[in-house]
A = this chain, B = another copy of it.
Amino acid sequence: MNNAFALKGNILYTPVCGRIEAAADSYLVCEEGKVAGVFDTLPEAFWGVPVEDFGSRLILPGLADLHVHASQYAYRGLGMDLELLDWLEQNAFPEEARFADLDYARAAWDIFVEELAKSATTRACIFATVHRPAALLLMEKLEQAGLAGFVGKVNMDRDCPDCLRETTGGSLEETRRWLEQSAGFGRVKPILTPRFVPSCTDELLAGLGALGARFNVPVQSHLSENLSEIRLVGRLCPSSRYYGDVYDRAGLFGGPRPAVMAHCIWSGEEERARMKEAGVFIAHCPQSNMNVSSGIAPVRLYLREGQRLGLGSDVAGGAHLSIFRAMTDAIQASKLRWRLVDDSLPALTLPEALYMATKGGGAFFGRVGSFEPGYEFDAVVLDDADLPTTRRCTLTERLERVVWLGDGRPCAKYVAGRKLF
């Protein structure tokens, strides 16, 4: 049994949305970086493999963050009194310009990567900045830290400050070079990242679509986040039928190559039908949607429709990197939506939010986010000993408490079978 080992503890995961499997005092076996299974006693085939005993601690699949801006980590929690378009102009763009300086980028990436490594997130879809060298440096640092996921060099050729605006040709050329240079990475891969329609011309989007096909890379962007933004897209692209249609015409909206779109708060029927058909992932970012006053996405509707759905921290629209926090934010937002907007759509439950945080979002990265056999071995171990209570809790209740009350930091973390700490 080469490269096999087991973790022992209280194992929880969600093979099906809304149902938590809880295996008390059991073994989670890893073989060649993949889950071999969850067992109450170790099967004979694995006798003799190293076993790390985590006692009564909780073992969960690693969490997936489907939308995070690494360059914004430094100013999370600042400028929260602004709405989206003002916030971008006053807060995001001036900071992003600084990443032209690779020394500045290095210092900022170090902070971001260290915090991401300490978190329960094992996979992430990450926006870097427009700067190719900075994007490559971030990929290197994530890879060195043992993390996995996608990083995007951002594209912008209109409607942003001069210090960030690329020419259309320059943007495409830099993207091509970046895709070539990032071919050698292992678990950290490139993803096309047109910022959003307002900052990308049709020509740029078409060029990115061609690069996507040529290099076979997925896409991440923003979609239907804010009402002013949607009106702006309508003015900029008068022939598009809906916001997502602009990406779709450029070949950047799912289908052969996966796409993940952040927010989708105001997606209409036609947009949603096309997303379902093309398998576009929705990155639900509830805290950001509150902080920049965007609204609340109809997540229950998306679950009913069978949309592909995960959670995003959207730092720094969201102030918190923890996807546990995103879970409880999603539950709270869905309750307010039920009460204030549409009481035909019941609120999310914790087991549903956990599914979105693990298997739901994990699917963007392959077979990730569950402990079913064959899934990549992403696991985090959580200690709830510092959450005192007089109540005797079931395993599911302990999970609830650690999600709601913990600091989001595991005491051990594994990505694709490799132990980070």
- Residues of chain A touching chain B, judged by Cβ–Cβ distance below 8 Å, are 74-78, 80-81, 95, 104, 107-108, 111, 287, 290-296, 319-320, 328, 331-333, 335-341, 347, 349-350, 388-391, 393, 397, 400-401, 403-405, 407
Which residues of B are found within 8 Å of A290, using beta-carbon distances?
Answer: 332-333, 335-336
Please state if A74 and B391 are interface contacts (CB–CB under 8 Å): yes
Minimum Cβ distance to chain B for residue A180 (Å):
29
Given contacts A74-B389, A77-B404, A336-B336, 5 further A-B contacts (CB under 8 A): A77-B403, A80-B350, A294-B339, A319-B328, A319-B405
Which residues of B are found within 8 Å of A397, using beta-carbon distances?
Answer: 78
Which residues of B are found within 8 Å of A81, using beta-carbon distances?
Answer: 331, 347, 349-350
Please state if A80 and B400 are interface contacts (CB–CB under 8 Å): yes
- Number of this chain's copies in the complex: 2
Minimum Cβ distance to chain B for residue A342 (Å):
10
Q: Which of these, B80, B291, B328, B401, contacts A78 with CB under 8 Å? A: B401
Minimum Cβ distance to chain B for residue A271 (Å):
20
CA distance A257 to B341 in the complex (A): 39
Which residues of B are found within 8 Å of A78, using beta-carbon distances?
Answer: 391, 393, 397, 400-401
Please state if A295 and B340 are interface contacts (CB–CB under 8 Å): yes
Using A332-B287, A336-B336, A340-B341 as known contacts, say yes or no to A111 and B405 having CB atoms under 8 A apart. no
Please state if A77 and B293 are interface contacts (CB–CB under 8 Å): no
Which residues of B are found within 8 Å of A349, using beta-carbon distances?
Answer: 81
Minimum Cβ distance to chain B for residue A213 (Å):
37
CA distance A411 to B338 in the complex (A): 40
Could you list 22 examples of A-B contacts with CB < 8 Å?
A: A74-B389, A74-B391, A75-B389, A75-B391, A76-B401, A76-B405, A77-B403, A77-B404, A78-B401, A80-B328, A80-B404, A81-B347, A81-B349, A108-B390, A111-B388, A111-B390, A290-B332, A290-B333, A290-B336, A291-B332, A295-B340, A337-B340
